[in-house]
Amino acid sequence: MTSASEKLPRQPRCILITGGAGFIGSNFVHHWCNNYPEDRVVVLDALTYAGNYKNLAPLAGHKNFRFVQGDICNRPMVEALFKEEPIDTVAHFAAESHVDRSILGPDAFVRTNVVGTFTLLDSFRHHWEHQGALENFRFLHVSTDEVYGSLGPDDAGFSETTPYAPNSPYSASKAGSDHLARAYYHTYGMPTLITNCSNNYGPYHFPEKLIPLMCINILLGKSLPVYGDGQNIRDWLYVEDHCRALDVVINQGQPGETYNIGGNNEVKNIDLVNKLCELMNELAPELPVRPAQELITFVKDRPGHDRRYAIDASKIQTELGWTPAETVEGGLRRTIEWYLTHRDWWQPLLSEEYQAYYQKVYA
C-alpha cells in the first residue's frame, strides 16, 4: 500500500512537440529528452526557413525519438499521427514568429498560427475523446507576451488578467490562437494550458532576431541596425529557463489556466546592443571592427513598434515554484560563446533568401 505522503512513480508520457526544429522548440526537445528519457518524443515540424533539422541531429536513431516533417495545417497527416502514436501530451511551438516578417507578409501568420493551431486543437480533441477523455492528457499552447500590446513607462507588468491588445499581425495571430486554446477548455473540457512568455535568447536562435543578428553582424563587421531611438524595452529570458517553466506547467499546471513567464530583466534595446558589443570586444579573439560599438547605426523604426513589454510572473512563481535561474550577464555570455563556437551552424543560414529578406527590411 502507498501512504499519502509517498510519491507515486511518474507515468511516462508520449509527447508531440510541434515546431521542435525551431529555436525554443529544439531547446525544449533537448530539455525533455535529457530529463525524461523514458518518454516517447515525436517532433512535428514543417522545416520552414526557421526550422533546422541539425538542431535535433544528436537525437537521430534514439529509439524513443521520432521526427516527422509535416505541416500542422495538414489535417489528414495530423490525424494519422494521433492514430500511429500513443500521444497524451502536446507541446505546441510551431508558428511564424518574427514581427518584421509579419509586416511584410501577414498571410503565413494567419495560416500557421490561427488555422494551424485550430487544426491541432481539433484533431487532438477527437483523439482525446476517442481515448475516453482521460484526465492525464495535456495540450500546452506556447504563446507570447506580445498579445497584451504595449506598456507605458510606469505601467505594471502584464499579468494573466491584462486585456489582450495585440498590435502586429504576428501578435494578433498569436492572440487568435490563444483564444482558441482557451475556448477548447471552456467548451469541451479539453485540458489545455496557455503560457505567455517574454523575449527568449540563447543557442539555436535564427539570425534574424535582435540578439543573434547583432552577434553575427559584429563578427562580420556589418552595421548594427537599431530601430528608431533604441529606447524600446523588452524583458529577456534565457531559453533554458523558459523550457523549465514549460516543464512545470505541463507537469503541475492546472488545465484551463494561463501562466505568464518572464525574466524580470527589462532592458532598453540600445543598452542591450551596447552590452553585446562590450562582451564581444572581450570574448571574440578577432573582430573586423573594434570596438564593436562603432558599428551601431540607428535606422528607420519598425511600423507599429511596441514601446515596452514587462511581465508579472508572480502566478507561476507562487503556484508552481518556478523562478528564472540565469542572469542577463550570464545568459548573454553563454549565448555569445555559443555563436562564437557554432559558425558552422549560422553561416549556412545567411542564404540568398535571407539576404533578400534583409534587403527588404533594412534597405
| Contact string 25-54 vs ligand NAD (x = CB under 6 A) | x-------------------xxxx-xx---
Partnered with residue 111 across adjacent β-strands are none
Residue 265 contacts ligand TYD per CB under 6 A: no
Residue 71 contacts ligand NAD per CB under 6 A: yes
Residue 209 contacts ligand TYD per CB under 6 A: yes
Query: Of 16 and 175, which CB lies nearer to ligand TYD in the complex structure?
Result: 175
Q: Of ligand NAD, ligand TYD, none, which one sits near residue 102, judging by CB under 5 to 8 A according to partner kind? A: none
Q: Is 145 a catalytic residue?
A: yes
Contact 277, 140 (CB under 8 A): no
Q: Is 146 a catalytic residue?
A: yes
* Active-site residue (options: 39, 71, 148, 170): 170
Query: Of 176 and 225, which CB lies nearer to ligand TYD in the complex structure?
Result: 225
CA-to-CA distance for 295 and 154, rounded, in angstroms?
A: 32
Q: Is 329 a catalytic residue?
A: no
Return the C-alpha cell found at 22: 525551431
Q: Please count the CA atoms within 13 angstroms of the CA of 44 that sit on its side-chain side.
A: 27
CA-to-CA distance for 41 and 67, rounded, in angstroms?
A: 9
Q: What is the SS3 assignment for 79?
A: helix
Of 6-14, 84-92, 222-230, 254-262, the segment contacting ligand TYD by CB under 6 A is: 222-230
CA-to-CA distance for 305 and 299, rounded, in angstroms?
A: 13
* Residue 325 dihedral angles phi and psi, to the nearest 5°: -105, -25
CA-to-CA distance for 60 and 54, rounded, in angstroms?
A: 10
Quote the least distance from Cβ 155 to ligand NAD, whole Å.
19
User: What residues act catalytically?
Assistant: 145-146, 170
- Contact residues: ligand NAD, CB under 6 A: 18-19, 21-25, 45-48, 50-51, 71-73, 93-97, 112, 116, 142-144, 174, 197, 199-200, 206
